[in-house]
Structures are given as structure tokens and as C-alpha cells.
Amino acid sequence: MPTTGQAARPRSWAPADVGRMQLRGVAQVALSASPWTGLLFTVALFAGGWRIGVYGLLGVAASTVAAFVLGADRDGLANGLEGYCGCLTSIAIVVRLGASWRTALLAVLAAAVCAVLGAAVGHLLGRIGLPALTAPFCLVAGVLAPALPTAPAAAAPPLPGDGATTLSASELGHAFCDNFGQVFFLDKWYAGLILLVGLLVASWGAAVAAACGSLAAILTACAMGLPAERISEGLYGYNAVLVAIALAATFLTRTPWTAGYTALAAVASVPFTAAWQAFAQPSGGSPFTWPFVVTTWLFLAAVPALDRPGLSFEKAK
Amino acid sequence: MPTTGQAARPRSWAPADVGRMQLRGVAQVALSASPWTGLLFTVALFAGGWRIGVYGLLGVAASTVAAFVLGADRDGLANGLEGYCGCLTSIAIVVRLGASWRTALLAVLAAAVCAVLGAAVGHLLGRIGLPALTAPFCLVAGVLAPALPTAPAAAAPPLPGDGATTLSASELGHAFCDNFGQVFFLDKWYAGLILLVGLLVASWGAAVAAACGSLAAILTACAMGLPAERISEGLYGYNAVLVAIALAATFLTRTPWTAGYTALAAVASVPFTAAWQAFAQPSGGSPFTWPFVVTTWLFLAAVPALDRPGLSFEKAK
Amino acid sequence: MPTTGQAARPRSWAPADVGRMQLRGVAQVALSASPWTGLLFTVALFAGGWRIGVYGLLGVAASTVAAFVLGADRDGLANGLEGYCGCLTSIAIVVRLGASWRTALLAVLAAAVCAVLGAAVGHLLGRIGLPALTAPFCLVAGVLAPALPTAPAAAAPPLPGDGATTLSASELGHAFCDNFGQVFFLDKWYAGLILLVGLLVASWGAAVAAACGSLAAILTACAMGLPAERISEGLYGYNAVLVAIALAATFLTRTPWTAGYTALAAVASVPFTAAWQAFAQPSGGSPFTWPFVVTTWLFLAAVPALDRPGLSFEKAK
């Protein structure tokens, strides 16, 4: 993932530096390297529940330490690039298993594996010019989900209906906010709102892109006739939010063409998410952020093959 | 996919040129760039039902226009390489949902996504010397299938029996023709026969290869003891038909070694198709042409590693 | 896969050479090129049942002959690299279907496909510096499993419990040995022990690594609360055994860092195996050695991206 302009090579391991690295690890979930964004994201995690906050920070720390011990790239470490997958993995584990010493041990081990997979995925994808995104988290969480004890009752998610779905104003508001919150497994609307403010602190463009992605996802899900309850829980839109941040505000230049291209990608991520839920749920799995990762990879890989002025990478590779 | 000898760069956008591009888009499903083949294929689509014909042409048009707007390669456009995945995707959608304005909108959007994925897959696979084949269609259709409302009753397909299957002469004839028809989701034997004639117009070699592939698939399915009803519907053989066209008549030189190699690939595609059906059906999916795509990729990727005189690519890469 | 020091290019096709090639094909399942290891492995196969022994040898022969006919690399042939996937595939088939002429024909065809896929996977992965491992076997066996008639009752494997699992001494002993045996689908403890002796003949380091991998897997499975019965059948540990041989005794230099890194990989392979079982079982599938293959690929791909003295490839690439 890209870093902000400031070249953040740690000169010392002073507590302030370590704290900044920790907060950046949380912020990198939304492809930002700003510690202030990380601080607001952490507040949102604690707003979702103290366990989520504690485990999120634990995951960042465990993954970053493991990457440090294994000799990962120092610049990446300082920018939090070794922390965000551990953060999400640790939260996914505590949400499923509840807090306990056994859960904490598992979260630390899983975060350490995230550090290894981050290096592997980065190395393999670096050759073809694609970013790792949250793929290490998706791999680890995807493996753990069906292997853990308290699997949810393996009911297939409800199928979409024949007509379009209508949302009440309250459902619409919840859906808009929870599309942010579900990135971190949060289901409280105010937690999602704090995440949006965190994005705004990092970059005006990222916040606008994310908000548009959230709206596009709600429109698409309603047009597909997906159930209102699940739409308002944000279950179909968190991938579109991330897709919009990645394409429109991070990897591609900001032009009207990019905006349209991103809108197509955000729309496409909704049936992708619904399909992955239908596929993974029977064995106790979840799509996690795979739809975001795969959609972004494919839409980024297409750019060099398209000769469209106005559709290009932010910086030449 | 390869193009025929004629370098078809569009000099103008005259209606005749656009029509040729449209027909080539249909023909490229079977790796041909002949507009006459495309015309016969289109006749076969309408023989299968007017909705299939209309949506097939709509898909080609939508995907080609999207690729044009996004700046895809002009030679590929003129040769129909930007149309065939949109064609198949659009047919897959109308077969599942029935014709309506909502279906048409979905088909257009899905075809546009096909254009993006075509660029992405072509870019990623071009590095390792493999063709995109129908992978963009399989990706889009594979995502839409479990996400769409009217999923079929999720019954697992019948398992093969212990002994070999015997077919009546009528079942054998239907199986032979429907192995062609199912490439386009057609289940009428005469539609399959028109497709075979279309292949013959494009290339004598492609038609012979496809016919042999169809027979090899029937033999394999019978030897495996798969149910006669499904064999005669062409559900196990359409991938073998495409594998035979791709390997024996498109990418590899025509030698006896290639013929034997292709036969092994066509035979292997049958259990692959049966397995993918068993795997995908419970979540409302289908193998689509994934078995063709993956088998062809693997058998093509093996060629450079094998030092067998008589087994080589049609033209050096 | 790497070869032992002796450059074994076949000068003649004398019976002794052919026999050695055959035994090496069996030994390469555990990444060894020693014919003595192959001899002991073959004894273990016959200890597991004469059918397993006969089909194992048949698979090695069929796959090696197919690779020879197709012009595969002569050094690889002589070192058994074209035999091990055919061996495992053939055993997987006979275990599922029982011995018969039809089974033998299927085993020969499947082994021939293994030879093609071995070339394809080797070619594709060679570019990124990764070994093929048992991926061709996993592909072929993974396709055949849901396509074959006598699928097991599609019961999902039992989920792990909430607490840790305690094993009796007898269960512990069985688990330790069967973790070796299950590499070859063997469920007799003495067959596993013979395999361990075979490893010891090839390399002291490989045997120690494998034994530690087996113990690490048992500990992990117990800590996860997986059912004692399945642990003692070796169903969770055979991938860890192979991961340990591949990482600690084959591809990486032997250092304390490698030992720790391998331990993390072996531990990670256990939930991976349990998850893949939960995922594949409903459609009649099995993880086969996919968890070993994928874990080893990812942990090998991470090494070049990590700047850790003491963690490096055995020989520079």
C-alpha cells in the first residue's frame, strides 16, 4: 500500500514513535498512513466495544513485532504496513470467539502468520505491479473461520427477491454508516461515522470517494432486491467503500474517467459480495474483504491494457 | 485469442464494419474471427430462442462499446475479441432471469465489466504467454449465478453409477449436437448442428477437432457411468469441444502428437466438468466454461516444458 | 523439487536403472531422491495393503512413461520427479474405488495427466522461483474426488470443541505415526514408522524435521480442541510433516531461525487442514496435500522479501 509523502523511517524506538507506528497500522486498513486517522479509527473500534479496541491494537502490535523480528522492510514497518492485516485478523477472531487468554494467544499467532503472508503476497504481486491490499488478512481469516469451534448455524444467506428493495430513512442512514463500520466488523452506526471522520482527517478525496462508494453500494443492493435488513447492517457495502478508496483516492489519478471506472467497480463489488456470502456461509466462512481485494486487483490490472487518457496510475510504475 | 490472417483494423465505422465486428464477436466464442461463422452462430442462437439471439447480440454490442470507450486495443475490437465474453454473459443472464428491462440493464452492466476483466486477464496472462479464453465470462457469470434471485433448487447433480452408461442412438445424436449447443446454453439439437456448420465455414480443422472432442467426451462420460440423460443434454461435453478447438485447431501445430495430446485434454475435461458441477451446484453455481479454460491453460503451459518434436505452438511467441 | 548431489542422468535403460527410477519416484513424495528411501517407502505401502503397493508402483510407472513419451526433462525423470504425483494419485484412486481393471485404467490415465500438469505447474512456478511440490497430484485428485461414484456420506467433519483435547498415550503414539502414514493414505501405525525409517535413511535432518512437525501438529490440534479420534488417525498432521521436510530440510538453510519459521508454518498448516476438510467434505472432496503445498509456497515466497540473517534459501536462485 502506498505511503503518504512523509518518509517515515524510524530513527529511534521511542514510545512516541512506537505509538505512531501502532496508530498508522490501524489507519492502513483504509490505505492511510496518518496517525490521526489511526487515532480516530481506534476510537471507533473502542466505540464498537472495548474488546474490539484492545484486540485491534494487540493485532497491530503482534503483527508489527513479528515483521520486525523477521526483518521486513523498515519503511513499511514505520508506515504501519505490517500492522493492518494483523489488526483485522485479531478483530475477526475476538468477534467470533470472545475475549480470553486462549483467544489472545490465537490472535498473536495469527497476526504473526499475517506478517509472513504479507511478505509473501507482496513479493509475488510486486512482480506484476499489484498491491497486497488486505489479502493476507483474508487468507488467515478465511482459513480460521471454518476451523474454529463456534461456527454460526450454517444457514444460507437469504436470496435476493424479484423486485427492488425500498429502505426507510433510518435504514438508509444505518446502511450508509455501517458500510464503513463493517470494514472493522463494527455494527454500530456511530462507530462508522467516526471512521468517516477519520478518513476525512487523512484526505478529503478519500472521504468523498468512500461516501460515494457507500451510496453506490446501497443503490446497487436495492436494485438487486437484496434484503433490507442486511443492507442496513452494511453487509453488502463495506467492500465498495474500500474499492472506492483504493481506486479513486489512492492508486489512480483523480479524473472524471477514474470516477466512472471506480463507480463500475464499486457496483460490481456488491453482487460479488452477495455471491461470496452465499458460497462461504454453509461452511461457516465469510467473504471478509476478498471482494474488495479481487475487484481492485482486476480493475487495476486492466488499466495498463487500456489506452484511455484520463485513466492512469497515480505515479508511473 | 488469435485472429485470422486478415488484419481487420477498422478504417471507418460504417454500418457494414460495425455489423462485421458484431458477428465476429459471436464467432470468437469458438476462437474464430470469420463473420460468416458469426452469422451462422447467430442463426443458431435465434434457433435456440429469440431472447437468446437478442441478448447474445446485445451482450456483444455492450461489451464492444465499453471496450471502445475504455480505449481497448483497436485490432482486438475489430476482430470481435471484445465481444464474445459479453455475448456469453448476456445469454447466461437471460437464460436464468428471463427477458425484461431489468435483465437488459444487468446484461449491459455485466458486459461492461467483461470488457474491463478482459483487459485485466489479458494483461496478467500475457506475461506468461497464455490466452484469456473465456475467463472474463466465467468470472462474471460465476459471481452472478449465486447472487441472482431465482436460483435453481439446490439439488446436487446425480453421482455417477458403478458401471458404464449405454446410450440409445437418439441419445447419442442429441449428445453429439448438444455438446456444441451447450457452449451457448442451447439445448436444441439442431441449434448445435448449425453451430457445427458455422465452425466448418471458419475452418475445416476446427470442425473436425470439435467433432472428435464431442465424441471423446461422450465416450469418457459413458465409461465413467455418468447419467445418460445429462450426457444427452450435452452437460459434460461442451468443454471438451472448446478444448479440442483451442488446442488442436488454434494454438498448437497440427500433428499426430497434438491430436493425442488434445485427446488426453478433452478426456480430462469431462471429470473436471462433472466435479465442478458437484461443487458449484449447491450454491446455485455452474462450472460455465471454467473446465475448458483451466484445462487449456494447463495443457498449453506444459508445452514449453516438454521437449517433444511434433508438440509445439502454432507460431513462436 | 531438488535432487540429491548425485547427478542421475540415465545412461541406459537397463532394468536396474529403471528400478532405481521407480523407487526414486516413490521417495520423491517426501522430497528425497534416494532409492533406498524409495524401497522402504514401498515396503510401507505394501504394509498398508498389497493393493496400495501395487497401485503406487503402477502410478509411478505410468506417470514416468508418460513424461518420457512427452519429452520431459531427462534429469528430472531419472531422479523420480515425474513419478511421485502419479504414485499419490494412483493410491488415492484405489483407496476410493478398490482394485479393478477399470480402476487401473483410470489410474494410468490420471497418472498421465499428472505428467502434463507437472510440466505445466513447473513451467508456471519456475518463473517465480517456487517448486511444484505435490500440486499436480492435488489438482488431479481434487478433480476426481467429487466426480467419482462411491462418494462418502457427505457428513461435515466434526467441529472443534471449546476446550483443549487430551490424548491417551496410545492415541499419541498412533497420531505421531499416522501423521507420516497419511501422506500416502496409510492408516496403520507401523506403516508410518517404516516411512520414518525411510526418511532417516535419506537424511538425518529430514527425519528430525518431520518428527518435530508431527509433534507440533499434534500439540496444535490438541490446543485447538479437535476430536481425539481424528487426531490419532493422522488427519490433521500429515501436512505439517511435509511442510517441515520441505522448509527445514530441503529448501532453507538449517539455522535456528529456519527452525522457528518452520514451526510457525507447521502450526499454521493444522487449522488450514481442518478448514479445508470442513470446506471440501460436503462435496465429497478432501484437502489432500493442498495445505502443505500452499503453506510451503507462501512461506517460501516470503523469504526473499524478509531481510533476516539466518533465513535464506539452501542455494542461491
Q: Quick one: B36 and B139 in the same domain? A: yes
State pLDDT tens for residues A129-167: 899 999 999 999 998 888 876 555 445 555 666 678 889
CA angle B290, B292, B293 (to 5 degrees): 60
Give me the DSSP letters along C286-311: --TTHHHHHHHHHHHHHGGG---TT-
Whether A9 is in a domain gets the answer no
Categorize the per-residue pLDDT at A16 as very low, low, confident or very high, splitting at 50, 70 and 90. confident
Whether A313 is in a domain gets the answer no
State pLDDT tens for residues C124-180: 999 888 999 999 999 999 988 888 765 554 455 556 666 788 899 999 999 999 999
Q: What is the mean pLDDT of the segment spanning C13-27?
A: 90
DSSP class of residue A151 equals P
Distance CA C143, CA B277 (A): 11
Q: What is the mean pLDDT of the segment spanning A238-242?
A: 97
Backbone angles phi, psi at A252, to 5 degrees: -105, 155
Domain range enclosing B219: 169-305
Distance CA A244, CA A213 (A): 5
Domain tally, chain B: 2
> Grid coordinates 457445427 are at which residue?
B196
In 3-state terms, what secondary structure has residue C244?
Answer: helix
What distance in Å separates residue B146's CA from the closest CA in chain A?
A: 5
Kindly tell me if the per-residue pLDDT of A48 is higher than 80.
yes
The CATH number for A215's domain is: 1.10.3430.10
In 3-state terms, what secondary structure has residue A100?
Answer: coil
Kindly tell me if the per-residue pLDDT of A7 is higher than 80.
no
* Cα end-to-end span (Å), chain B: 13
Cell triple for residue A41? 479509527
CA-closest candidate to residue A244, choices A234, A231, A258: A258
Q: Residue C282: list chain B partners with CB under 8 A.
A: 282
User: What is residue C108's predicted lDDT score, i.e. its pLDDT?
Assistant: 96
What is the amino acid identity at position A29?
V
Measured between CB atoms, which of B121, B145, B149 is closest to A161? B149
Mean pLDDT, each 10-residue run in order, chain B (317 residues):
44 80 95 95 96 97 95 91 96 92 94 96 92 96 80 54 84 96 95 96 94 97 91 96 96 95 96 89 84 96 91 71
Mutual orientation of helices A101-126 and C256-280 as an angle, nearest 10°? Answer: 100
What is the helix, strand, coil percentage profile of chain A, to 5? 70, 0, 30
Distance CA B175, CA B189 (A): 8
Q: Quick one: C140 and C185 in the same domain? A: no
Distance CA C289, CA C29 (A): 11
User: What is residue B1's predicted lDDT score, i.e. its pLDDT?
Assistant: 42
Q: Quick one: B26 and B121 in the same domain? A: yes
Q: Quick one: A36 and A110 in the same domain? A: yes
| Other beta carbons less than 10 A from residue A256's beta carbon | 9
Q: Which residue of B has its CA nearest to A279?
A: B283
CA dist list (Å): A176 to A28, A38, A172, A180, A234: 21, 21, 6, 7, 7
Q: Quick one: B189 and B130 in the same domain? A: no
CA angle A9, A10, A11 (to 5 degrees): 110
Q: Quick one: A138 and A259 in the same domain? A: no
What distance in Å separates residue C175's CA from the closest CA in chain B?
A: 31
- Domain boundary residue, one of C82, C115, C147: C147
CA-closest candidate to residue C189, choices C237, C154, C155, C151: C237
Contact B236, B267 (CB under 8 A): no
User: What is residue A284's predicted lDDT score, i.e. its pLDDT?
Assistant: 74
Whether B156 is in a domain gets the answer no
Measured between CB atoms, which of B275, B279, B301 is closest to C123? B301
Cell triple for residue A89? 485478523
Q: Which residue of B has its CA nearest to C110?
A: B268
> Grid coordinates 458401471 are at which residue?
B163
User: What is residue B11's predicted lDDT score, i.e. its pLDDT?
Assistant: 52
What distance in Å separates residue A24's CA from the closest CA in chain B?
A: 31
Interface test with A, best of C231, C298, C313 (most A CBs within 10 A): C298
Q: What is the mean pLDDT of the segment spanning C253-277?
A: 94
User: What is residue B316's predicted lDDT score, i.e. its pLDDT?
Assistant: 42
Kindly tell me if the per-residue pLDDT of C232 is higher than 80.
yes
State the number of CA atoms in the 13 A half-sphere of A222 facing the CB.
15
Distance CA A44, CA A38 (A): 10
Contact A278, A304 (CB under 8 A): no
Answer whether C301 sits within 8 Å of A70, measured CB to CB.
no
Contact B58, B88 (CB under 8 A): no
Handedness of CA C206, C212, C215, C219 (dihedral sign): negative
User: What is residue C316's predicted lDDT score, i.e. its pLDDT?
Assistant: 42
Answer whether C161 sits within 8 Å of A143, measured CB to CB.
no
Q: Residue A302: list chain B partners with CB under 8 A.
A: 70, 116-120, 123
Is residue C274 within 8 angstroms of chain A, CB to CB? yes
Q: Quick one: A177 and A103 in the same domain? A: no
DSSP H helical ranges for chain B: 15-27, 35-48, 50-69, 74-78, 84-97, 101-126, 135-147, 169-181, 189-202, 204-223, 228-232, 238-246, 256-280, 290-302
CA-closest candidate to residue C9, choices C99, C83, C73: C73
Whether C3 is in a domain gets the answer no
State pLDDT tens for residues C172-206: 999 999 999 999 999 999 999 999 999 999 999 99
What distance in Å separates residue B31's CA from the closest CA in chain A?
A: 21
Whether A207 is in a domain gets the answer yes
DSSP class of residue A184 equals G
Cell triple for residue B94? 437471460
Kindly tell me if the per-residue pLDDT of C6 is higher than 50.
no
Q: Quick one: B127 and B210 in the same domain? A: no
Whether A178 is in a domain gets the answer yes
CA dist list (Å): C290 to C12, C273, C301: 36, 8, 16
Answer whether C109 sits within 8 Å of B267, measured CB to CB.
yes
User: For a pLDDT cut of 90, what percent of chain C falls above it?
Assistant: 74
Answer whether B143 sits within 8 Å of A267, measured CB to CB.
no
Give me the DSSP letters along B234-275: TTTTHHHHHHHHHIIIIIB--SHHHHHHHHHHHHHHHHHHHH
Q: Quick one: B211 and B135 in the same domain? A: no
Answer whether C143 sits within 8 Å of B309, measured CB to CB.
no
DSSP H helical ranges for C204-255: 204-224, 228-232, 238-246
Give me the residues of B, 117-136, that contact A with CB < 8 A: 117-124, 127
Total count of residues recorded for chain C? 317
Whether A158 is in a domain gets the answer no
Contact A99, A110 (CB under 8 A): no
CB proximity list for A82: less than 8 A, separation 6 or greater: A25, A63, A64, A66, A67, A68, A72, A76, A115, A118
Task: Characterise C203 by phi-psi region: left (phi > 0), alpha (psi -120 to 50), beta (else).
Answer: beta
CA dist list (Å): B243 to A50, B316, C37, C98, C191: 56, 20, 40, 31, 42
Categorize the per-residue pLDDT at C7 as very low, low, confident or very high, splitting at 50, 70 and 90. very low
Q: Quick one: B46 and B141 in the same domain? A: yes
Is residue A263 within 8 angstroms of chain B, CB to CB? no
State the number of CA atoms in the 13 A half-sphere of C146 facing the CB.
28
Q: Quick one: B194 and B251 in the same domain? A: yes
Kindly tell me if the per-residue pLDDT of C272 is higher than 50.
yes
Kindly tell me if the per-residue pLDDT of C2 is higher than 60.
no
Answer whether B119 sits within 8 Å of A305, measured CB to CB.
yes
- Domain boundary residue, one of A97, A116, A147: A147
Kindly tell me if the per-residue pLDDT of C209 is higher than 70.
yes
Contact C249, C202 (CB under 8 A): no
Q: Residue A224: list chain B partners with CB under 8 A.
A: 147
Whether B313 is in a domain gets the answer no
State pLDDT tens for residues A104-113: 999 999 999 9
Please give the residue that has the higher pLDDT: either A152 or A191: A191
Q: Quick one: A253 and A134 in the same domain? A: no
CA angle C155, C185, C245 (to 5 degrees): 115
